Every structure is written in structure tokens, then in C-alpha cells.
Amino acid sequence: MKKQDVVQLVLGKQYQKNPVCSFAKSFAPTNIALCKYWGKRNQELNLPITSSLSVSLAHKGATTEIKVNDKDYDVIYCNFPPLKKGDKRGILIRHPERSEGSPAQQEILSADSPFAKKLIEYLNLFRTKDSHFFDIYLETNIPIAAGLASSACGFAAMIQALNHLYDWQLSPQALSILARLGSGSASRSVFSGFVEWHMGDKIDGMDSYAELLPDVWPELCMGLLIVSDQEKTISSREAMQLTVETSSLYSVWPKQVKKDLAALKQAISAQDFILLGQTAETNAMSMHATMLSACPSITYYLPETLVLMKKIWQLRKEGLPVYFTQDAGANLKLLFEEKQLKIVSELFPKIEIIKPFSSL
């Protein structure tokens, strides 16, 4: 089964209909998994081996604007991913300051940039071969260096904008399924708040979508601790596949996830911060343990990552309830409650703090 077949299933009679307007815009928050998605049962459809649970980062995310253009190619203006030296002109145009940016100020990524390719392949799922093309403005307001999932919010914002453009009037569940085809974690970014992505077990993935949990936790804070803005040496997509294929520890991962998901849901409904923090941290460490035991071994740790971890563990020993989670990058995301905000800001002067429920 191909992505195109899923799009056809979800859109039904609306498949390959023409846009009903010439412009649409949408925002989607990025999300941080407290119980990670690591491993696919189907790579084409981004179907996961386990369920996962995340929290969306309120106003931090991506805004997408789509305009039908009169060209015979797409033009993508984008402020991520960071431009690599030597990248040449082509379809994907990066715009650090689009509002004032004259074309001369714009930097252009090559058409064979993997990111441009991914986006264009995604758009191709929704249009007939030689129909309309788009000008797309994709802008994130998350620190690019933080290794936050820009593709998660990027694809979620994109599918929401397409939903307006074509007036499909899809349910959040259907949008989540379509966002997943872009990037697995994007399935969770169509919601704000605590979100569970159900793994599902159907071959077509029609039961693999995210759902919003009803709980809110206004005191919950997340702090971004950036130790490196270097590009990762291996993408999460490749790393998770290599882990599934070669790590002897991977066989215990699904069991760990089951346990962690139950604990997290309990922590969220009881607003038990210690349980939440401990579970999220253990889950992240376990995910990284599966990578360490892959062949060849994968690690996203930098020396500074370990220094930070030790600092956090020491602070906990001294009685400060702070925990962390880590994704496929060297940076850490600190978890704590609002009452610790002042002390945390003093202890980590460069931290960027986000309150996931501040705008709900």
C-alpha cells in the first residue's frame, strides 16, 4: 500500500479535486514526546511499532501559507532547515526575513535538498499530475538549533492549510492520518495539549492517528537547553530503522512503552509531576539505550549533553524536582513546574522556557 492509496481512502470522492480558493494559511504547534515513537512497522506509511504520547508547545510551531501560483513548479520559502554551505539554487527558497526580504536577501536551497524533495512529494499526493502548483511560505518560530521537530509542525500546518485550500472539511482524525504520511510525529501536531498517537494495527493505517487527551496542566513548563546547533549526523528516520533492524535491546522497547504510557496517563490525570518527569526521562533514556546497542551504534550525546544530565541528576538529589527528555539530537528539554521557574532560570541562564498550556 502506497501513501497515494491512503490519501484516496481518506479523501474519497474529494480525491484530486481542485482548490476552492487561491490562498490558505494555518499554524500547528510542535510537539515533544514524553513517551517516544521509535520504530516503524511500515516505513512507507510511517506506521509505528508502538503508540506514543506528547505535549504540544502552544504557540511554538510552524505557520504555512499556500498560494496557487501560475508557474509550472512549486516555490517553497522556508526558514528551516538551516542552509548548508554550498547549497545551490532551485525550488526551495529559504527566507530568513521574508516580510522585508527582497529576493536578493533570500537564500535558495537546491531542488534536490532532501527537505524540498519531501515537501514536494507530499504535495504531489494531493494534486493531479499536471495541475496547479504552489507558492508556499513555511515559517517556524522555534529555535532552529534546538532540534525541535520542525517537520512535525511543518507537515501538520501544511495539511491543515491544504484542508482549507481544497475545502475538504476533514476531521482532526483524518488530518492526523494525512499528516503522518509526511512525518510520523506530525500526526500529533494537529492538536494542542497532551496528545496520544494510537499505533493501530491495520495494514492501511486507518486506525493509526492521534487523539487529544482532555487534561490540561497549566503549571507544566518545558525548558529548551541547547548544547549544539550542529546538524545531526544521522536523521531520526534512518536511526530508528537501524535500531529496529539491529538492536538487541529493541525487543524490550514495546514493553517499556506500554508501561510508560500507562504511567504517563496516570500522572497526567492525577497531575503527579514526579511520576510524569520520572517516566518521561526513563523513556527517553531507554530509547537512547536501544540506539546505543544498534550496529553500528548510534548516539546523539555530546559531552555537554552528559554534563547537563549530571547537573540535572545532582539538582534532583538536592531536592529540586526537574527532569529531562531528549530526542534525536544532543539538546535536552527540561520538565518542571511553574513554582520552580525562577530557580530553574537562575540555574540555567540560557534556557528558553515554554508553558505548553499557556494559550489554551
Query: Which residues in this chain contact ligand DP6 in the complex, by CB under 6 A?
Result: 33, 36-37, 46, 52, 149, 151-152, 183-185, 236-237, 327-328
Structural contact between residues 169 and 12, judged by C-beta atoms closer than 8 angstroms: no
Residue with smaller CB distance to ligand DP6, 57 or 328: 328
- Burial of 10-30, coded b for 16+ CB within 10 Å and e otherwise, reads bbeeeeeeebeeeebebbbbb
- Smallest CA-to-CA distance from 325 within 303, 343, 300, 350 is with 300
Q: Cβ of residue 89: shortest distance to ligand DP6, in angstroms?
A: 26
Q: Cβ of residue 312: shortest distance to ligand DP6, in angstroms?
A: 19
Q: How many CB atoms lie within 10 A of CB 120?
A: 18
Q: Cβ of residue 34: shortest distance to ligand DP6, in angstroms?
A: 9
Grid cell digits, residue 234 = 544521522
- Smallest CA-to-CA distance from 9 within 198, 209, 205 is with 205
Q: Is the dihedral of CA 221, 329, 176, 157 positive or negative?
A: positive
Residue with smaller CB distance to ligand DP6, 240 or 351: 240
Q: Cβ of residue 57: shortest distance to ligand DP6, in angstroms?
A: 12
Residue with smaller CB distance to ligand DP6, 6 or 328: 328
Residue with smaller CB distance to ligand DP6, 184 or 223: 184
Residue with smaller CB distance to ligand DP6, 79 or 243: 243
CB-based burial label for 322 (10 Å; 0-12, 13-18, 19+) = buried
Q: Cβ of residue 332: shortest distance to ligand DP6, in angstroms?
A: 13
Grid cell digits, residue 347 = 540555574
- CA-based R_g, the chain, Å: 20
Grid cell digits, residue 278 = 520520572
Beta bridge partners of 250: none
Q: Cβ of residue 69: shortest distance to ligand DP6, in angstroms?
A: 27
Residues 6+ apart with CB under 8 A from 300: 232, 288, 291, 326, 328, 329, 330
Question: Cβ-closest residue to ligand DP6?
Answer: 184
What is the rounded CA–CA span in Å between residue 150 and residue 159? 14
Residue with smaller CB distance to ligand DP6, 25 or 259: 259
Q: Cβ of residue 36: shortest distance to ligand DP6, in angstroms?
A: 4
Structural contact between residues 356 and 222, judged by C-beta atoms closer than 8 angstroms: yes
- Smallest CA-to-CA distance from 301 within 287, 315, 313 is with 287
Residue with smaller CB distance to ligand DP6, 95 or 180: 180
Beta bridge partners of 196: 53, 211
Q: Cβ of residue 227: shortest distance to ligand DP6, in angstroms?
A: 16
Residue with smaller CB distance to ligand DP6, 10 or 244: 244
Backbone φ and ψ for 106, nearest 5 degrees, come out as -80, 145
Q: Cβ of residue 130: shortest distance to ligand DP6, in angstroms?
A: 28
Grid cell digits, residue 99 = 516580510
Residue with smaller CB distance to ligand DP6, 67 or 237: 237
